[in-house]
Amino acid sequence: MLLPALAIAGTVFTWSSSFAAIGYALREIAPLPLASIRFAIAAVFALAWIAWRRPRSFLPRDYFTLALCGLLGIAGYNVFLNSGQATVSAGAAGFIVNTQPIFMVLIAVLFLKEKFSRWSWVGTLLGFAGVAVIAAGQPGGLAFGTGSTLIVLAAACAAVYSALQRPVCTRAKPLDVTAYVIIAGAIALMPWLPAGVSQAVNARPDTWLMVLFLAIGPGIIGQSCWTYALKNFGAARAGQFLYLIPTCSIGIAWLLLGEIPQGNTIIGGVLALGGVIVVNSWGRR
């Protein structure tokens, strides 16, 4: 079980590092240009993968779904996340984004007519209470348009993206789906690519390293590790390890950015993470 364990470690490290890496790159590159250049680089690898694999398991209607996934899960998510992280600490962003499972449950209730149990309500209220506590320690709090609310919107985009791609993944390989989604997202972000290239050219080498890490680490390496982990552990068991991401993101942000976690972030993070655990365990019974 060494390789599956390493795959889990790779997933947790790359995904939790992304928040600190975004915070570092934002020192010299604006939020939207950063998202654009990051996924322009990732799209080069995605195109190479598609050219090599030549996947043929997609139905004609799947391409519309993949385009929508790219618009929401790549472009929308990263525009909101990067813009939010311009004022919100990396550690706090890691906790807020990981309320995504709560939004997935809400989507199931609203659109798939699934029942919302008492424990689901408890977990949802607990999770959003945690977000409110975290936001209280960030500039602007939870007022509309502040960094915290933008990151909440990023979590909502990620939840919709996860729900949309699920049927496609039953017919196609997950990495093929990911490649097409990355390409679609990169196309949606192209209006900001010239600014991204211009700002990156004038940035320091260490900022360029962060951009390259964001392009290759969380997306390509992280997603590949996650796919391998899912095959070996199963979705339920592998999913439990994702609870490590917010905690790790705080530690990495401390080391890379010198961000000392505030009391609001720790208390709110515990509440938010507790809400997610309640929704994903008792809430599904």
Q: Confidence class of residue 240 from pLDDT cuts 50, 70 and 90?
A: low
Q: Confidence class of residue 285 from pLDDT cuts 50, 70 and 90?
A: low
Give me the phi and psi of 55, to 5 degrees please: -65, 140
Q: How many domains does the chain have?
A: 1
> For residue 280, what pLDDT is reported?
65
pLDDT tops 60 at residue 141? no
pLDDT tops 60 at residue 140? no
Burial class (CB in 10 A: 0-12, 13-18, 19+), 115: exposed
As a whole number, mean pLDDT of residues 92-112 equals 77
Q: Confidence class of residue 7 from pLDDT cuts 50, 70 and 90?
A: confident
DSSP string across 20-87:
HHHHHHTTTS-HHHHHHHHHHHHHHHHHHHHHHH------TTHHHHHHHHIIIIIIIHHHHHHHHHTT
Its pTM stands at: 0.86
> For residue 32, what pLDDT is reported?
96
> For residue 245, what pLDDT is reported?
80
pLDDT tens digit string along 40-57?
A: 999 999 999 999 988 888
As a whole number, mean pLDDT of residues 117-122 equals 77
> For residue 50, what pLDDT is reported?
93
pLDDT tops 90 at residue 237? no
Domain residues for the domain of 101 are 2-284
Alpha helices in 61-173 (DSSP H): 62-69, 77-85, 90-97, 100-111, 118-136, 147-169
